[in-house]
Structure 1
Amino acid sequence: MKIFLFLAALNGFLAVALGAFGAHGLEGKIPDKYLETWKTGVTYQMFHAGGLIAVALLIAKSGASASLTWAGWLFFIGILLFSGSLYILSVTQIKVLGAITPLGGVAFLIGWVLLMIYALKLS
């Protein structure tokens, strides 16, 4: 539980910091298309920081389960792959990096499916 709460707080912090950096440090320095790409990375990072908080709280309340634990790790991996690739793509404008982004999206999706499975198993 502690690791997911820590990762949630870390990613929430980073999403706010990177959002501010995008708005104030990158505006006018990269094309608007890539600024929007940056914002998408920030948005998904923050949403999944919330998902990590939910996982941490559920583990604290009911104990760890395989589906909860994997959901948490997949949310974190998704943040790294999805948001991370969008940040790098935005500043380098190397389009091939966009090929990594869907892997992060798949990690997010599987994490949410595992959370649904956990919910269905609740008594």
Structure 2
Amino acid sequence: MNKTILITASILGILSIVLGAFGAHGLKELISVELQQTFETGVRYQMYHALLLLFVGSTSLIQEKTKKSIFFLTVIGLLFFSGSIYGLATNELTSFNFKSIGFITPIGGLLLIFTWIMLFKDFLKISTKKGK
């Protein structure tokens, strides 16, 4: 599972850089500054969670069962949250009306919040030894 998490984190990181550059340069003349900032929000959250997955995949502080849950919640959460933000920000440029699926943005955000709650709960379970 760790290898899958790390590979996914790397792909999400690469895509964050590509989408960030595209948003800053490719969309500059095509959408408003406000929509560019919206697009950047999606990129930023994607990168934050790519870094989270790098940590999750490379640590032994998190139980394997929790790692698996975090992985799926993060990937689905990012698809819903960042993916819908990308679509909504570029809605004027496509034939598909992303506003019709805009309701999934907060669902994705909620999944990302649950990811962090699971991480927090697992950290609370770590037993501390005296002197450490």
Normalization by structure 1: what TM-score?
0.91
Task: State the partner residue of 1:78.
Answer: 77
Kept in 2, the 8 Å contact 1:85–1:97? The answer is yes
Q: Distance in 1 between matches of 2:111 and 2:26?
A: 29
Partner of 2:119: 115
Larger fraction in helix: 1
**CA–CA distance in structure 1, aligned partners of residues 91 and 62 of structure 2:** 42
| Displacement of 1:103 | 0.9
- Rg (Cα) greater in structure: 2
Aligned 8 A contact 2:63 2:122 in 1: no
1:63 Cα deviation from its structure 2 partner:
7.2
CA deviation map 1:15-73 (0-9, x unaligned) = 00000000010012112221111000000000000111111012xx3575222221121
Question: Matched residues, percent identical?
Answer: 40
- Which of 107, 110, 115 in structure 2 is aligned with 1:106? 110
Residues 63 and 51 (structure 1), Cα distance of their counterparts in 2 relative to 1, 3 Å cut: closer
Contact 2:20/2:40 (8 A) holds in 1 = yes
Hey, what's the Cα distance between the residues in 1 that align with 2:66 and 2:118?
5
SS of the residue corresponding to residue 90 of structure 2 reads: helix
Gap regions ≥5 residues in structure 1: none
Residue 88 of structure 1, CA deviation? 0.8
- Aligned residues of 1:68 and 1:114 also touching (Cα < 8 A): no
TM-score (norm 2): 0.85
Q: How many residues align?
A: 121
Tell me the C-alpha RMSD between the 2 structures.
Answer: 1.5
Take 1:110 and 1:64, find their aligned partners in 2: how far apart are those partners? 16
Report the equivalent of 2:67: 68
Contact 1:15 1:45 (C-alpha < 8 Å) held by counterparts? yes
Given that 2:56 and 2:67 are in contact with CA atoms closer than 8 Å, whether structure 1 keeps it comes out as: yes
Q: What is the rounded CA distance, in whole Å, between the counterparts of 2:40 and 2:101 in structure 1? A: 16
Conserved 8 A contact 2:61-2:123:
no
